Every structure is written in structure tokens, then in C-alpha cells.
């Protein structure tokens, strides 16, 4: 492993630590956590709730107002796969 590889790994670890902190902070305030994914079509995102459910939502903007529409709720297995993929366990 090169110095650059170690630096990238260290930055990724710090990033994931901060994301997990923000996620727990949202949950402690009974707020959902937004998971953006470049694997989803434009305008879609996952929204995770403190009860463990994850919804696939379509986000739209009208002026300064954000609207979201629930497309579907992921199964427990799908939700766990998303958490694993994004390092949220």
C-alpha cells in the first residue's frame, strides 16, 4: 500500500465516522437520514428512519420548497443491504 492509498483510506474512515455521527444525531432528534446514491435515477434518494425502515423517495423542488413522494418502502433485507453498501452498520 502506498502513502496515497493510506491517506485515502484514512480520509474515507474519517468521512464514514462523521456520516455515522450525523445519522445518529438525526435519529436522536426523531429526524430521518437522507442517503444519496449515484445508483438511483436523478431526483431519487433513500430516507432512513430511526425505526429502521428505509423509503425510496422522489425529491422535487418548487421554488424554495422541497417535496418528496414515497415510491416504496424497502423490505428489511433490502434496507440492510443499503446500510451495508454505504457503511452504515
Q: Is the pTM of this model over 0.85?
A: no
Q: What digits encode the pLDDT tens for the residues 34-57?
A: 999 999 999 999 999 999 999 999
Is residue 5 predicted with pLDDT exceeding 80? Answer: no
Q: How many domains does the chain divide into?
A: 1
User: What range defines the domain where residue 28 resides?
Assistant: 3-85
CATH number at residue 37: 3.30.160
* pLDDT at 6 (0 to 100): 77
Give the C-alpha distances (Å, rounded to integers) separating 24 from 28, 34, 50, 69, 86.
6, 12, 9, 24, 15
Rg (CA), the chain: 15
Q: How confident is the model at residue 11 (pLDDT cuts 50, 70, 90)?
A: confident
* pLDDT at 64 (0 to 100): 92
Q: How confident is the model at residue 8 (pLDDT cuts 50, 70, 90)?
A: confident
Amino acid at each position: 500500500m502506498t502513502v496515497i492509498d493510506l491517506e485515502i483510506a484514512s480520509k474515507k474512515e474519517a468521512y464514514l465516522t462523521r456520516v455515522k455521527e450525523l445519522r445518529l444525531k438525526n435519529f436522536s432528534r426523531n429526524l430521518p437520514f437522507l442517503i444519496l446514491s449515484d445508483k438511483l435515477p436523478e431526483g431519487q434518494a433513500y430516507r432512513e428512519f430511526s425505526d429502521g425502515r428505509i423509503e425510496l423517495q422522489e425529491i422535487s423542488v418548487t421554488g424554495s420548497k422541497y417535496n418528496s413522494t414515497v415510491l416504496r418502502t424497502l423490505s428489511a433485507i433490502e434496507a440492510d443491504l443499503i446500510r451495508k453498501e454505504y457503511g452504515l452498520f
